Amino acid sequence: MPVSRSLAALCGFAVLGLALTACDDQANGQIIAHHDERHVETVSNLVIGGCHRFPEGVTRVDNYTTSSLLMYTTPDCTVPPGGESVYLDGPSSDNVVRATGQWRSFSFAPE
């Protein structure tokens, strides 16, 4: 039984719509973390929501995504009393300032 052209077109648009909305929840690209000169972690295509932890403290982050990051010295993406988060635009890199301590987590900045 042949499928009508309008039904086929509707199904095609529905699949395309689902694919495009799925991309909005991901930061396409890579985030590479280092501790001094040693590579710590590379993560790709992360979900934008929530807090992401590094396996250990890092001193440099290379953000090769088109999304901006907020870097934290705490493991739970909170700002300690008297502290602050660091904004890292994408794509770019940043080194931690020794006085603030190592970064332990990050979240995606609201767009």
User: Is residue 39 scored above 90 in pLDDT?
Assistant: yes
Phi and psi, residue 37, nearest 5°: -95, -5
Arithmetic mean of pLDDT, 12-31: 65
What local confidence, expressed as pLDDT, does residue 18 receive? Answer: 46
What local confidence, expressed as pLDDT, does residue 97 receive? Answer: 82
* 44: DSSP letter: E
3-class DSSP state for residue 9? helix
Whole-model pTM: value is 0.76
- CATH architecture label of 27-108: Sandwich (2.60)
